[in-house]
Amino acid sequence: MKRYDLIIVGAGPSGLSAAVEAAKRGMEVVVFDENEKPGGQLFKQIHKFFGSKEHRAKVRGFNIGKQLLEEAAEAGVKVVLNATVIGLYQDKEVVVKIGEEIHHYKGDSVIIATGAAENMVTFPGWTLPGVIGAGAAQTMMNLHGVKPGKKVLMLGSGNVGLVVSFQLMQCGCEVVALVDAATRVGGYGVHAAKVARTGVPFYLSHTIVEAEGDECVTGVTIAEVDSSFKFIPGTEKHFDVDTICLAVGLSPMSQLLKMAGAKMEDNPKRGGQVPICDEYGRTSLPGVFVAGDVSGIEEASSAMIEGRMAGIVAAEYLGYTDEDDMNRNVESLEKALDGLRQGMFAPENRGKLVEKTEEGIDVSMNLLKKGYVADDEIERYPGVTHKVGIHPVMECTQNIPCNPCQDACPKKCISIGDNITSLPIVVPESECINCGMCVASCSGQAIFLVDEDCGDGTATVTLPYEFLPLPKEGAKGIALGRNGKKVCDAEVVNVRSAKAFDKTNLLTMRVPKEYAMKARFFRATV
Amino acid sequence: MTERRIEEHPILGVQEKGKKITFTFDGKEVEGYEGEPIAAALKAAGLMVHRYTKKEHKPRGIFCAIGRCTDCVMVVDGVPNVRTCITPLKEGMDVKTQYGASDKPFDV
Amino acid sequence: MNSVNDRNRDIGPFVPAPDDDMLICRCEEITKGEIRKAVHDGMWTLTEIRRYLRTGMGLCQGQTCSKLVKSIVARELNVSPAELEPATSRVPMRPIEMRIFANEAKEDDDYE
């Protein structure tokens, strides 16, 4: 039986991060992953991540994946793919299916980084072909280049449901509705807003009555539910769709830990059955550590930090590094992790209705119920100001841990300050040079450059645009409001693409000046 | 097989594909790209039903697309229960609808 | 002993419900009604349910339905799902052919 200093199960964001830190400290590390490719779910994430520079904010997920793979290769990490770990025993024996054979390995330490599995929800017709998990949609469109469907209904308004809805539209699918039985949008408001402004209707307090079709999905009926999740008769709505996408949460894939005899608990805040562990990922079994979603559902950004911690702690456990190195490094990682766990969506706020921002401003109830901030609500946020000439309008209305915009502006027009969750403010007396860096840097696509009065009765609005075909200068169409409904006619006056924008195109449209603060999306007339 | 394929993606650009190849689905020739999952090629060809269940004879297709749920299993080159969402496509593969655990349709 | 395992507790009779024919275990094609009935037949733990009905014993090994089954059983017993011990986890964690399962590699490190 081959022995390793450290065996890691799962080559996703946390497993690879752990491997890098452990290998750097001289450990002989092997990472087993059942998939054909490493990177876990990172390569399906095509949006820009939130956070700050240390969390690689404003970098798209798949590019973070590439960086992580390079880092792992440099550190000399051995990643074995198509290697399914089928068993873990208490003495840290790992049983792996590789090809058509069963291999046994002994790890002097083991890190379980198996991630999470999607939750499911039942309704008549839920087994029909065409009902798929949100992860399946991402896999098909972002890895294999195949559209999951033509017309899709999304169930679930958490970040996965919102992000995948946007991605479905980016690859050319139509999203007919976003549905959630909850009374409020579960994910980040900015993710919801960028979906809503394209015209996707949100149905909160609704769920699926039935998926229709004999051989595959041909339609779906939804209806409103009351406070005890019972359908309200007469509220049914029908949609012709060929695909129903389920994004109803994730559960930790912790079975290996249970098998090995680790102390487990059922913790709804962490998403289900999780090992009992300390903040560095030490489980009840000496030498067995955890990192990432397997110990509690969070984001890829936090999984990577947890992975690094677990890698360092495992190295210390076997004496590859001393306590000083461990404490020093883990402390700074903890700070980075704390940074991500701040704000309205922090773990302790899960499921709670936060009614005021940290600044004491009322949270938009429209955003929570319909996916967009209403025109009469938007003015109360500090990023929304008025001045002569082009200026940034930051429709960032919830406290989330994210600050790339303040570094993006070369003229220092935007400030968040030291508290990463503060809402961005426009720095008084600063001068916008219309470079567009803030628009492209905002992972939430919530920044617009507006010239409210061009002097000829018109205004211009520059918005982030990540769809194809990219409208050309001179294209005529309509401007949509935050709610996705037509507000006025519009003409494209400029389209900018630059390497620094990282695939976020900047589309500038001209609208009558009374719509300067209402028009937020452009749709070309065909 | 084009309209269901993403020819150009606003973020990912033009995705690289393997060699274009032919395989059979229930005896009919279908095109796909070498190395992509069998399920992706079927999806791109608009073929949704992978199997019919043993007890209720109900249709099933892609559900999780990552090899977990096993709903997309088919009979591939004579072997039943092959997870088509994680099995790479090869030239000339013989892919068949699975009925229960067999490639023989149920007696009606 | 916690209340979940107190077999003297009266959970009432099985009452049919309109959604009893809802399929829960996709692999073994077990319905919600069958699971609810099994609870009233005395199968109070997830391990018992699994052996009795084969829920989670099919190809996917409970990857899809285990959480659904747990919540149905919990509701029937009138306890919180968190109070139910999950079914045993054992090797192999993933579907695997017996011939491979029995095929021990001869070399330790021959996967490269």
Looking at the partner chain, which of B53, B64, B68 has a beta carbon nearest the beta carbon of C29?
A: B53
Q: What is the distance in angstroms between the Cα of C41 and the nearest Cα belonging to chain A?
A: 24
Q: Which domain holds residue B73?
A: 20-99
Cα-Cα end-to-end distance for chain A? 66
Q: What is the distance in angstroms between the Cα of C14 and the nearest Cα belonging to chain B?
A: 24
Residue A271, pLDDT above cutoff 50: yes
Which residues in chain C are contacts of B69 at CB distance < 8 A? 26, 60, 63-64
| Cβ within 8 Å, pair C64-B56 | no
Q: Pick the residue from chain A with its C-alpha nearest to C94.
A: A86
3-state secondary structure (DSSP) of residue A275? strand
Q: Which pLDDT score, from 0 to 100, does residue C1 have? A: 44
Those chains having 3 or more beta-carbon pairs within 8 angstroms of chain C are A, B
Structure tokens at A275: 């090992």
Is position B48 within any domain? yes
Q: Which pLDDT score, from 0 to 100, does residue C2 have? A: 56
| Cβ within 8 Å, pair B68-C64 | yes
How many domains would you assign to chain C? 1
Phi, psi for A6 (deg, rounded to 5): -145, 125
Is position B11 within any domain? no
Cα-Cα end-to-end distance for chain C? 51
Is position C51 within any domain? yes
What is the per-residue pLDDT across A343-389, written as a single tens digit (0 to 9) for each?
999 988 888 899 999 999 999 999 999 999 999 999 999 999 999 99
Q: Which pLDDT score, from 0 to 100, does residue C111 have? A: 53
Is position B104 within any domain? no
- Report the alpha-carbon angle A501-A504-A508, nearest 5: 100
Instruction: Return d(Cα A166, Cα A378) in angstroms, integer.
Output: 22
pLDDT averaged over every residue in chain B:
95
Instruction: Return d(Cα A465, Cα A496) in angstroms, integer.
Output: 10
CB neighbourhood size of A198 (10 A) = 17
Q: Which pLDDT score, from 0 to 100, does residue A5 have? A: 98
Q: Which pLDDT score, from 0 to 100, does residue A350 have? A: 84
Is position C71 within any domain? yes
Report, in angstroms and rounded to the nearest whole number, the Rg of chain B calculated over CA atoms.
14
β A505-512/A486-496 pair status:
antiparallel
Q: Which of A51, A110, A134 lies closest to A400, judged by CA?
A: A51
Residue A505, pLDDT above cutoff 50: yes
Q: Percent of chain A scored above 70 by pLDDT?
A: 100
Q: What confidence category does residue B19 fall into, taking pLDDT thresholds of 50, 70 and 90?
A: very high
Residues of chain C with pLDDT under 50: 1, 112
Q: Which domain holds residue C27?
A: 23-86
Is position B27 within any domain? yes
Q: Is B73 on the interface with C (CB under 8 A)?
A: yes
pLDDT averaged over every residue in chain A:
96
Is position C70 within any domain? yes
For chain A, which residues lie within 8 Å of any Cβ of chain C, measuring from their own Cβ?
Answer: 1-2, 34, 80, 83-87, 95, 97-104, 117, 119-120, 122-124, 126-127, 251, 255-256, 258-259, 264, 266-268, 272-273
Q: What confidence category does residue B1 fall into, taking pLDDT thresholds of 50, 70 and 90?
A: very low
Q: Is B101 on the interface with C (CB under 8 A)?
A: no
Q: Percent of chain A scored above 90 by pLDDT?
A: 97
Largest CA distance in chain C: 59
Instruction: Return d(Cα C58, Cα B71) in angstroms, integer.
Output: 11
Is position B63 within any domain? yes
Q: What confidence category does residue A46 fall into, taking pLDDT thresholds of 50, 70 and 90?
A: very high
CB neighbourhood size of C46 (10 A) = 21
Is position B83 within any domain? yes
Q: Which pLDDT score, from 0 to 100, does residue A44 have? A: 96
Looking at the partner chain, which of C96, C104, C105 has a beta carbon nearest the beta carbon of A86?
A: C96
Q: Which pLDDT score, from 0 to 100, does residue A494 have? A: 98
What is the per-residue pLDDT across A460-492, written as a single tens digit (0 to 9) for each?
999 999 999 999 999 999 999 999 999 999 999
Is position B13 within any domain? no
| Cβ within 8 Å, pair C59-B60 | no
Mean pLDDT calculated for residue range B18-35: 97
Interface test mutation site (partner C, options A273, A274, A294, A297, max chain C beta carbons within 10 A):
A273
Instruction: Return d(Cα A20, Cα A41) in angstroms, integer.
Output: 18
Q: How many CB pairs under 8 A join A and B?
A: 97
Q: What CATH number is given to the structural domain containing C69?
A: 1.10.10.1100
**Tell me, what amino acid is at C81?**
P
Looking at the partner chain, which of A102, A124, A258 has a beta carbon nearest the beta carbon of C22?
A: A124
Answer whether B54's CB lies under 8 Å from B102's CB: no
3-state secondary structure (DSSP) of residue A492? strand
Q: What CATH number is given to the structural domain containing B32?
A: 3.10.20.440
Is position C4 within any domain? no
Q: Is A141 on the interface with B (CB under 8 A)?
A: yes
Cα-Cα end-to-end distance for chain B? 32
Q: Which pLDDT score, from 0 to 100, does residue C30 have? A: 98
Is position B72 within any domain? yes
Instruction: Return d(Cα A510, Cα A516) in angstroms, integer.
Output: 9
